[in-house]
Amino acid sequence: MAQRTEAGRRAPLNRDRVLRAAVALADETGIESLSMRKLAKQLGVVPMALYKHVASKEELLDGMVDAVIGEIDPPVGDTGWKTAVRRRVLSARQALLRHPWASRVIETRTNRTPVVLGYMDSMTGMFLAGGFSADLTHHVMHALGNRMWGFTRELFDDGQGGSPDPPPVTFDEMAKRYPHIVEVAMAATRGDPSAVGLGCDEQFEFEFALDLLLDGFERLRDRGWTSQRDRERAAAPPAAGQEA
Amino acid sequence: MAQRTEAGRRAPLNRDRVLRAAVALADETGIESLSMRKLAKQLGVVPMALYKHVASKEELLDGMVDAVIGEIDPPVGDTGWKTAVRRRVLSARQALLRHPWASRVIETRTNRTPVVLGYMDSMTGMFLAGGFSADLTHHVMHALGNRMWGFTRELFDDGQGGSPDPPPVTFDEMAKRYPHIVEVAMAATRGDPSAVGLGCDEQFEFEFALDLLLDGFERLRDRGWTSQRDRERAAAPPAAGQEA
DNA sequence: CTGCAAGGTGTACGGCGTACACCATGGGCG
DNA sequence: CGCCCATGGTGTACGCCGTACACCTTGCAG
């Protein structure tokens, strides 16, 4: 009988329980005070026991990020690309707000897990399905990156490079699992699959997004744009003194 | 004579030398391996000696961030707001690229130092001088924030709040030192200086920037926008195989 | 000459991540 | 049935970390 674990035996740990406990503990006490030792204590176990389920604290953090990404709503169908992207990004924001440590941790990750790649692939697919060219999708993903969160940097150079023991994933495996990412990456490297790892022109991507924003700002200014809040303010009498 | 320090006496430490050494060490060996002990060794001094010049490691990191911000070029005059903002942001980017650890550290800072506030104030002033209303400037600064780097969050609630021992800066001092920030903050709180610390509607600010980008994306798509890179690709023959 | 502040030292404490050797259990197979 | 070994939990130990606290040295102001 499995449920004689009620008192005598503690239910055995597994990776998932460890990750969930870590997320909960970070939510409660903050990421900077999350330690393997405290996490172990929380789980009623000795610190080294955790290492049977995660290879290191770094891997624990990777898993925690995956858990947060898992909370993001899947894409909705039936709406245009814009609504779909908008909803998805706002849902991502909600997930990050539930776990205030998450955005900071994401920024420190250097490996992209399959979960992260899957999220990126699905987002990429939304633009392609919305009639964006692979080229434009590429730049647009970069521009959106910092808003969705930080993992845009070096979007397409995965694993290979300085990393020891690059995971032996073939191009075909990548293409099957992350078709949209690969499509866009191929476009960015002028169709040369061997150049996919070489990254893109970060300076260009940065200026692309910057100019998009600056142009948008200018248009709003010229149109005399005003926020709802500000319109209310104009209609209401000024609050405290300060009207020199 | 002061320069008999050449061999006999080591030149005495000071805050500036400590900060500069810390920046250099982080540049060389990475921020995650920067420790008070290693920094002290680098300076030929015992670890605790550092604490005569910085109160804690946190304060050291604050100072390092200030040093990086100090590398950003001052605003240029004589050009329109757009060029001026553009140059400044690109200069900030260059500073952050020289110190790859800096953006990550900035994101972990919770106190805004006078240097940070000064940078923000000057950037704010560029929009005001460019004919932007205080209201629009407010939202625009938020939208730009994540691109310049991460410190936009909770832009205007400084110090007060949960922090113990809030620095006793008066409203007037703030207004004198950071006139543009205060102007914009006042606009955001409908002219009530006592409400300046209450922050703004983060959700609104997020959606504002998101929609600005999405609208920009759409315009580019409809215009059939294509990057230079992509136009070159179309003109050249395809590179390697992969042509099904 | 004296005293004191500024700056440097030494020791110590509690916490961290984790390597490594060990032990308990229980299911598969002879 | 009896063994064997994989799985998961334990205990100890190491080297690192930030920093509190008491102390010592120096050089200048009085």
Residue closest to A124 by CA, chosen among A171, A86, A178:
A178
**Residue bearing the bigger pLDDT, A126 or A242:** A126
In whole angstroms, how large is the CA radius of gyration of chain A? 23
Length reported for chain B:
244
Taking the Cβ of residue B107 and every Cβ of chain A, the question of whether any pair is shorter than 8 Å is answered with yes
Q: By the 8 A CB rule, do B216 and A167 touch?
A: no
Quick check: B142 pLDDT over 60? Answer: yes
Cα A80 to Cα A61, A96, A127, A129, B82, distances in angstroms: 35, 25, 10, 9, 33
Mean pLDDT for the stretch of residues B147-155: 44
Residue B154 or residue A101, greater confidence: A101
Q: Nearest by CB to A133, which of B90, B189, B226?
A: B226
Nearest to A213 among B144, B192, B220 (CB): B144
Q: How far is B219 from chain A (nearest CA, A)?
A: 10
User: In chain A, which residues have their Cβ closer than 8 Å to the Cβ of B136?
Assistant: 217, 220-221, 225-227
Residue entry with tokens 């979960």: A115
User: Does residue B194 surpass a pLDDT of 90?
Assistant: no
Q: Residues of chain A with pLDDT > 90: what percent?
A: 61
**Residue entry with tokens 């790649």:** A117
Query: What is the model's pLDDT at position A231?
Result: 75
Question: CA A131 to CA B160: how far, in whole Å?
Answer: 48
Q: Which amino acid is at A34?
A: L
pLDDT at A149: 53
Q: Is residue A145 within 8 Å of A106, Cβ to Cβ? A: no
Contact yes or no for B103/B92 (Cβ under 8 A): no
Of the partner residues B85, B139, B227, the one whose CB lies closest to the CB of residue A227:
B139
Q: B112 — contact with chain A (CB < 8 Å)? A: no
Between A191-205, B29-43, B159-173, the lowest mean confidence (pLDDT) is in: B159-173
Q: Output DSSP code: residue A99.
A: S
Residue whose pair of structure tokens reads 């200069």 in the numeric block: B91
Average pLDDT rounded to a whole number, residues A11-36: 96
Q: Does A176 touch chain B (CB under 8 A)?
A: no
Q: Least CA distance to A88: which residue of chain B?
A: B210
CA distance B52 to B31: 22
Residue B5, CB half-sphere, CA atoms under 13 Å: how many?
A: 7
Whether B135 contacts chain A with CB within 8 A = yes
Q: How far is the CA of A65 from the C1' of C7 (A)?
A: 45
Task: Compute the CA torsion angle A124, A129, A135, A138 (nearest 10 deg).
Answer: -10
Global confidence as pTM: 0.86
**In the prediction, which pLDDT does A163 show?**
39
Helices (H), chain B: 15-29, 36-42, 57-69, 81-98, 102-108, 114-129, 134-148, 171-177, 179-188, 202-222, 228-235
**CA of A51, C1' of D9: distance in angstroms:** 10
Q: Which residue of B has its CA nearest to A221?
A: B132
Residue B103 pLDDT > 70? yes
The distance of A3 to chain B (nearest Cα, Å) reads 45
